Every structure is written in C-alpha cells, then in structure tokens.
C-alpha cells in the first residue's frame, strides 16, 4: 500500500554560488528525507496542488551538488488493481532539467503504462552504470519537465506472511 520514490538530483551550478536549493513536489507525496553531506536542513511549505521544499546548504556551492530526495505515497491497495502516478519533482530556478525515470515493481505485481507524456522509452543497456544490474520494469528518459507517467498496477500473486510460535519443553 505504499509507493516509495527516490529522486537523485545532480546540479551543475555555474556563474554564482548557491546557499539554498528549492524543489516543487506534488502535494500527495510525503517527503521522508533529503540527503547530502552538504545539506544543513530542509523544510517544506504546503501549497495548492504542490509543496515547496527549501534545502539550506552548509556551504555555498558552485559546480557539482547532489541531492537525494525520498518520497512516500500511501495507496489504497485493497483492490486487485490500482493506478499510481509517478511524482514529478521540479527543481525551481534551473535553466534545464533532464533525466531518467526507472520503475521497479515488487514481486507479485504487474504494471502497465496507461499514460505517458514527455517520456521516451530507453533500453536498459543505455542506462548509467549506477542503474544497471537491477531488473527495472520501466525505463524512460525525459528531456524537459513536465513529464507524466501513470501506471496501472495489478496484483498477480498473493503476498503471504506467517507468524509462527514454536514452544518446546525439554526435561531430563
């Protein structure tokens, strides 16, 4: 019943140093964490249909700066099939945002892309080295934001869990 997203943003900052990065995230997503060794703190402000995340940096930076943003979205997964929209994280104030979208489904789930806008399918062999070696269900590239990907997810195998208590009495 939860869709977890990890978004890695690699900034290339030129002309001036930055002390704060700003992101726009859909309002239906819960921001779990924002990681990097240069991240001092982050906070979010709710808005209409989106939330703004402000990331303060320890040191003003120019050149390379990375962020890892973790999101969660709770889904009513009691039905045998449901739709999931992938979150669009927009870096505010950047000249160009492009990247790769990869999706992995848990065992027992099957997915189909029912809506795809602004995304081009990519061969798994063309992925960067850091993304290879994982069996991705969907692999896309985008050249600009906004993009949209809606998946219809269907349960094909049941998830079964067992809690067992074994009690033994040994005597001599």
81: which 2 tokens?
Answer: 């099939």
User: For the chain, which residues score pLDDT lower than 70?
Assistant: 77, 158-159
Q: Are 15 and 93 in contact (CB under 8 A)?
A: no
- What global pTM score does this model have? 0.80
Task: Give the DSSP per-residue string, 56-108.
Answer: EEEEEEEEEEEEEEEEEEE--TTSSEEEEEPP--EETT-S---EEEEE-PPTT
> According to the model, what pLDDT value does residue 27 have?
92
Place of tokens 């703004």: 52
- Each residue's pLDDT tens digit, 62-102: 999 999 999 998 887 677 788 888 999 999 989 899 999 99
What is the DSSP secondary structure assignment for residue 28, as one 8-state letter?
T
> According to the model, what pLDDT value does residue 35 have?
92
> According to the model, what pLDDT value does residue 77 have?
65
CA separation for the pair 20, 13 (Å, rounded): 12
């Amino acid at each position: 019943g939860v869709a977890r997203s990890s978004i890695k943003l690699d900034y290339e900052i030129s002309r001036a140093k930055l002390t704060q990065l700003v992101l726009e995230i859909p309002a239906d997503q819960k921001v779990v964490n924002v990681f990097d060794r240069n991240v001092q703190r982050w906070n979010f402000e709710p808005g209409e249909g989106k939330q703004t995340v402000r990331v303060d940096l320890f040191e003003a930076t120019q050149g390379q700066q990375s962020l890892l943003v973790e999101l969660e979205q709770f889904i009513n997964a009691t039905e045998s099939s449901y739709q999931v929209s992938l979150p669009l994280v927009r870096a505010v104030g950047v000249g160009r945002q492009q990247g790769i979208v990869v999706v992995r489904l848990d065992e027992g789930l099957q997915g189909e892309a029912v809506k795809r806008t602004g995304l081009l399918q990519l061969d798994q062999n063309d992925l960067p080295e850091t993304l290879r070696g994982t069996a991705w269900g969907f692999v896309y590239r985008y050249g600009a934001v906004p993009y949209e990907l809606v998946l219809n997810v269907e349960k094909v195998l049941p998830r079964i869990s067992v809690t067992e208590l074994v009690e033994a009495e040994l005597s001599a």
